[in-house]
Structure 1
Amino acid sequence: MRRFGFQRYRTTFGEGSMEAENTAGGAEELQLEPSAPKARAGSMHKHCHGLAESLEVEQEGLVEHQPLEQDDLNFERWKPKPKPKRTLHEKIEALKTYLWNPDTKEFMGRSGKSWSLILFFYSALYIFLAAMFGGCMCCLMWSISPYAPTYNDRVMPPGLTMFPHVDVAHGFEMKFNASDRSSWKKYARALEAQLKPYDDTVQKRRNIECKQDTYFLQESLEESAERKACQFKRSSLGPCSGMEQKDFGYADGKPCIILRMNRILGYLPGQGTPVNVTCGVKKGTPEVLGDVEFYPKNIFDLMYYPYYGKLRHVNYTSPLVAVRFVNPQLDTHLHVQCKLNGKGIINDSPTDRFLGSVSFNLQVGA
């Protein structure tokens, strides 16, 4: 009768063989087939190899989670060390080397080929940009007219300005003493300079006489043709012309001012009726301002409109209205306002004090 005992196997890593020990004394060894030990040996080898890899991964994890050493907590060692200061001579030598390196034949850190490519690139770039800008400007200038705006959807009502205006930064203010020539001389000079183009001889030579109270339309001419302008003679301003009284009435305490309506291309003021001008005090009674005279009239005649622009209306001179304050109250600060009145005129704008009106301070002393 044959007895069977238990066998204990011992694994030897790296050899791929197994040894069997009989656990029961005197038991006969179990006879196996020749192929069985080889298959079992290969399976055990793979299993042991996987265990070894798992142990290595676990050991690496333990190493990563080990506490930091005292030397690792010294953060000063990780700070970048300051660069040693260079002397002036070393800096000059470094600059010379940067400007021209004789060893590498480089100028400012680049070789001749590199500089050539950079110059070629930027030259081509800027030439292209300049050509594109020039082409856009040519297309723009070709598409618009130099004589009239392409789009003119809305024409604002005209503004009103006055002369003389010596100190515009602080508003229009006229303060003088009639007996003191130095106090009003600047006003007389400003008016004389403003009225110089309106001399009668200049107007007769440049402009033509027109029919009054009607628009001087010249739409039938070609767009680029020069338009005729109507005469406005300086002598029509009477005592405010400066031809008889060089002081424009300031020496007599009867100052004159000149009003002019702003130019608007193609604008027909008044819609067939002349626009008129009125002047008065904004605060106080009208008696403090006294009598007010207008020359040649208190209107802007229609024959000076429309305006065709400076390229076509070369000799155009805007019509004027002269205002003379005959007997203003002396040594009184007067706040005077002159306004345009007519169809389509706005003279009470809260945001634009020059739209259809002009205000100034007047004080006349003896």
Structure 2
Amino acid sequence: MEAENTSGRAEELQLEPSAPKPRAGSMHKHHVLAESLEVEQEGLVEHQPLEQDDLNFERWKPKPKPKRTLHEKIDDLKTYLWNPETKEFMGRSGKSWSLILFFYSALYIFLAAMFAGCMCCLMWSISPYAPTYNDRVMPPGMTMSPHVDVVHGFEIHFNASDRSSWKKYAKALESQLKCECRLRAASECVLYNAQKLTDCVVIHDCAYDDTVQKRRNIECKQGTYFMQDNLEESAERKACQFKRSSLGPCSGMEQKDFGYASGKPCILLKMNRILGYLPGQGTPVNVTCAVKKGMLEELGEVEFYPKNIFDLMYYPYYGKLRHVNYTSPLVAVRFPNLQLGSYLHVQCKLNGKGIINDSPTDRFLGSVSFNLQVGA
């Protein structure tokens, strides 16, 4: 019986049709068809019309956060300042605060030390008395006083009979020569209009005053440079006297109005200081003033005080740390024969070896120009 069952099952198995094995080519075709169907379905979905729910944009807006009460905000702040559960202060543990404080302390100490080291190297390598490198233009410039409106150029316009019109010019000249208040040690002071204090006195220090010039500075030989290069670098240099009285009628000592009340105005010219500069190369630099726009006869004769030169004895200049009492020499220019009512454009120039007075870019290099008009 068992043998028959076995043979019967074998016959049934042989009678069942065998399933065909799939080929590799047919599998690839099925895969391609499936991908194309998916792409078509995605395209159909994209082109389907939007439903009403999709057009309701209000549903996509972020919902407003519920307003928090003041009590909740205060609780959150207290938790931020000190969280008793995590033992954190302002969001950081004690270890975290220690590390960050240590890091920034070390960083700033290093930066401060590096800056201090750089400054020490810089101060060690340079001299406080003379610059290591000088990029200034060596030919000097020239300035004038009074200058009350430099923004719109130098303009001197007044009526001799109207004091309010020329008062500002006289005041500017007086400020150029006036006494300057300074603090000095009691041992160095002379009671010159002085007011005593505890450890110092305030003196009215008139730099161009004749008495102060005699006390501080020395009389020098005119026409030669006053060289003091043989002294030590830090030694104080002597300065030559320049007395205010040498400016004559433009000193403001005899005529407090500097000639403006009589229609004979004065101006003061000064050559800019340049450390170690020897102007003129052995020949004094002279000053000339002429009409740049207008008639020469309308300007008339020009007077110079004390002379129309910058004497060589005031040079070279050794800097304010060594030339403590140095006062820049001045040249006063007076116009005694101006034609009243004439509008003149006057130019004063420096003339000498190595002097540039015709620069197209710098109007103060070796020259200065101003407009002058005097009324009755």
1:239 to partner: Cα distance: 0.7
Alignment RMSD (CA, Å): 5.9
Secondary structure of the structure 1 residue equivalent to 2:156: strand
- Return the match for 2:132 from 150, 172, 183: 150
1:365 to partner: Cα distance: 1.3
Secondary structure of the structure 2 residue equivalent to 1:130: helix
Say if 1:31 and 1:37 are closer, same or farther in 2 by CA, change over 3 A. Answer: farther
**Could you give the per-residue CA deviations for residues 216-271 of structure 1, whole angstroms, max 9, x where no partner exists?**
11111111111110011111111111111111111100000000000000001111
Is 207-216 or 173-182 further displaced after alignment? Answer: 173-182
Secondary structure of the structure 1 residue equivalent to 2:333: strand
The residue number in structure 1 matching 2:368 is: 358
Distance in 1, Cα, partners of 2:312 & 2:28: 118
Distance in 1, Cα, partners of 2:9 & 2:128: 128
1:38 to partner: Cα distance: 21
Distance in 2, Cα, partners of 1:187 & 1:361: 14
Count residues in correspondence. 347
Distance in 1, Cα, partners of 2:356 & 2:25: 109
Say if 1:216 and 1:30 are closer, same or farther in 2 by CA, change over 3 A. Answer: same
1:58 to partner: Cα distance: 17
Is 108-117 or 59-68 further displaced after alignment? Answer: 59-68
Say if 1:63 and 1:117 are closer, same or farther in 2 by CA, change over 3 A. Answer: farther
Calculate percent identity across the aligned residue pairs. 91
Answer whether contact 2:294 2:343 (CA < 8 A) is retained: no
1:304 to partner: Cα distance: 0.5
Secondary structure of the structure 1 residue equivalent to 2:365: coil
Answer whether contact 1:177 1:365 (CA < 8 A) is retained: yes
**Could you give the per-residue CA deviations for residues 139-193 of structure 1, whole angstroms, max 9, x where no partner exists?**
0000000111112376421000011112222222112111122221222222122
Is 159-168 or 257-266 further displaced after alignment? Answer: 159-168
Which runs of no fewer than 5 residues in structure 2 stay unpaired?
179-207
Say if 1:297 and 1:64 are closer, same or farther in 2 by CA, change over 3 A. Answer: closer
- Return the match for 1:139 from 105, 121, 136: 121
1:283 to partner: Cα distance: 0.9
Say if 1:113 and 1:293 are closer, same or farther in 2 by CA, change over 3 A. Answer: same
Structure showing greater radius of gyration is 1
Distance in 2, Cα, partners of 1:192 & 1:69: 92
1:24 to partner: Cα distance: 13
1:51 to partner: Cα distance: 19
**Could you give the per-residue CA deviations for residues 326-352 of structure 1, whole angstroms, max 9, x where no partner exists?**
121212322211111111111111211
1:113 to partner: Cα distance: 2.7
TM-score, normalization by structure 2: 0.76
Say if 1:283 and 1:23 are closer, same or farther in 2 by CA, change over 3 A. Answer: farther
Say if 1:209 and 1:20 are closer, same or farther in 2 by CA, change over 3 A. Answer: farther
Answer whether contact 2:138 2:277 (CA < 8 A) is retained: no
Answer whether contact 1:158 1:264 (CA < 8 A) is retained: yes
Answer whether contact 1:209 1:231 (CA < 8 A) is retained: yes
1:209 to partner: Cα distance: 0.5
1:104 to partner: Cα distance: 2.9
Secondary structure of the structure 2 residue equivalent to 1:337: strand
1:213 to partner: Cα distance: 0.6
Distance in 1, Cα, partners of 2:354 & 2:169: 33
1:120 to partner: Cα distance: 1.8
Answer whether contact 1:155 1:267 (CA < 8 A) is retained: no
**Could you give the per-residue CA deviations for residues 73-107 of structure 1, whole angstroms, max 9, x where no partner exists?**
99988876554343444334333332333433333
The residue number in structure 2 matching 1:40 is: 23
Say if 1:84 and 1:40 are closer, same or farther in 2 by CA, change over 3 A. Answer: closer
**Could you give the per-residue CA deviations for residues 287-345 of structure 1, whole angstroms, max 9, x where no partner exists?**
12121100111110011000000000010111110000112121232221111111111
TM-score, normalization by structure 1: 0.77
